[in-house]
Structure 1
């Protein structure tokens, strides 16, 4: 397999970060349509086209998933970080070629307001790494002085709400579905209303956003790790603050500080809206490498003891920091379940579950159960058992230390038989 093909496969989930797949998935599930039913896609397409035409006539503008709202030349402009038609070509084009095509679309949006706009204007908003070429002074830190407090962020989850299409639009679409697709009136109306509801949920009006914010479809925090588009939730992310737009980074050191602030902010904002971002999401939105993302996450966790919420840490998707190990380390430092949950953006019940698993592994160590049998007894992977064994070796020098810890946790431990 070529390097280009492997690179394209890394981004295979990006085409699902669009309105249409989410609508289709919801329609098929809600109306029990066949997995390959063409009706769901047809309903979504004609509903979107009709609603867009009606809203354009009435001065209503929405921001689609994958678009960033900016103010340019005094006008609101929506820049496409993702473009459905372009992103679908990842399998046939190199990743860099797709990115450059999207960059060209972004430039066209700016030039519609100012024909003199250049690609540097795009870079200043989205890909600051192309501008910040100077190294900057050595030893400059990139971490914030204090960790972000997610509870103080203004974002709240967007909820699907009944979106009644205008009567004339609804009547036209119902008639079309009856005559061309054989739908019954009640079914047709239900399909159109659902498609309009998902559209309004995923595409907030421009008035709901601030310049510098992006609409993105993220994995739901309470959902499966599968990539079914129905499991995505729309989140509004502050990619750039007004100050950051006014003062773009001029050196590599300033760029790294900006990317750290952005990473901290958008992961916390997504979490506040019941969503988590994958490494691919972060790489695409922030225009940085997976290696830098990991470096920033690890440095942040080491400095503040806070594990920023990503799909890797919350849903166990991809290779990232092992939050189960971090939970145990924090508990052994004396932190309460509530404090640990706050630091790793998990529910307290999840923290308790991780600690109970560690208790079980310690019990097996105490009673000298062979390591090969531990993962079968605990029902976990050998790799996770190995992580816990390393923690046990690090923190508990002898059986008495293990026993004392387990007793402090309320676990009843029987004495080892003499000679064992």
Structure 2
């Protein structure tokens, strides 16, 4: 056991603790002695520093109009009733205002259209950085109401036939009819592959397979003249969800599509992904 320290260690050793980590360790020692010994306090200090670096990134290279934001991790496992305090978060950087926004306003572009584009832009930026934003977050950033954000998202998705990567669609939460409609349209009407639809709609293969299975189940029941409550009981979903699928079915009928053909149509899978899909199916069975 070491019984003495050198002059250099005695002189310079204490300087190693004159840091943020040292201040945290000293704080825990003084204010929270019940936490344990030095090693435990150092581990806690290290964890806190890591979180500070993660959620308070350096802003020296932020462009004018950019803002840091903290949102839900897109890979967070969804769970009914799960609190946000139990959900992993990530720190992201968003282009709240772009340099070209000034020129567009100068040229007479409508503010409503600019906000709609901002909603789409920030949702995509969030996803690209590992995040998964909600309408409420966008409403706070843009100083508008969540229902207005919802309208912008719906309009943009229908105009571009593309699903925006928001928490409602990625984690399949809430009444997000639009993304269901777009996915089914791409699979059964446009005949795109499962792989391509997965990429274009920010959905996993499992989610795409679930939509295919559920839509066909509802469609078969609908063809048997079952009502919404009966269909909900048969397929094991809520009447609200069945109404969403029914709305899609009714639209296809109005557009002249033959429902029997959709029932008998298998979603296209690119050859290199057939093994993945087969594995998923085998896991279900």
Q: Deviations along 1:8-28, whole A, 9 cap, x unmatched?
A: xxxxxxxxxxxxxxxxxxxxx
Q: Deviations along 1:218-255, whole A, 9 cap, x unmatched?
A: 122222363226422111111122333x5473598432
Residue 173 of structure 1 is matched in structure 2 by 24
Q: Is the 8 A contact 1:313 1:321 kept in 2?
A: no
Residue 243 of structure 2 is matched in structure 1 by 386
Change (3 A) 1:242 1:226: same
Residue 50 of structure 2 is matched in structure 1 by 197
Structure 1, unpaired ranges of 5+: 1-165, 411-420
Residue 347 of structure 1 is matched in structure 2 by 204
Residue 357 of structure 1 is matched in structure 2 by 214
Change (3 A) 1:389 1:280: closer
Q: Deviations along 1:1-53, whole A, 9 cap, x unmatched?
A: xxxxxxxxxxxxxxxxxxxxxxxxxxxxxxxxxxxxxxxxxxxxxxxxxxxxx
Q: Kindly indicate whether residue 261 of structure 2 is the aligned counterpart of residue 261 of structure 1.
A: no
Q: Distance in 1 between matches of 2:117 and 2:247?
A: 33
Change (3 A) 1:196 1:230: farther
Equivalences, count: 241
Secondary structure of 2:71's match?
A: strand
Question: Which is helix-richer, 1 or 2?
Answer: 2
Query: Which protein, 1 or 2, shows the higher relative CO under an 8 Å CA cutoff with sep ≥ 6?
Result: 1
Q: Distance in 2 between matches of 1:391 and 1:295?
A: 19
For the aligned residues, what is the CA RMSD?
2.9
Q: Is the 8 A contact 2:72 2:89 kept in 1?
A: yes
Residue 138 of structure 1 is matched in structure 2 by none
Q: Is the 8 A contact 1:298 1:321 kept in 2?
A: no
Secondary structure of 1:249's match?
A: helix
Q: Distance in 2 between matches of 1:230 and 1:355?
A: 29
Q: Kindly indicate whether residue 89 of structure 2 is the aligned counterpart of residue 232 of structure 1.
A: yes
Q: Distance in 2 between matches of 1:243 and 1:195?
A: 39
Q: Is the 8 A contact 2:198 2:208 kept in 1?
A: yes
Q: 1:218 aligns with which of 71, 86, 92?
A: 71
Q: Distance in 1 between matches of 2:145 and 2:26?
A: 50
- Measured after TM superposition, the shift of residue 274 of structure 1 is 1.9
Change (3 A) 1:315 1:289: same
- Measured after TM superposition, the shift of residue 353 of structure 1 is 1.4
TM-score (norm 2): 0.72
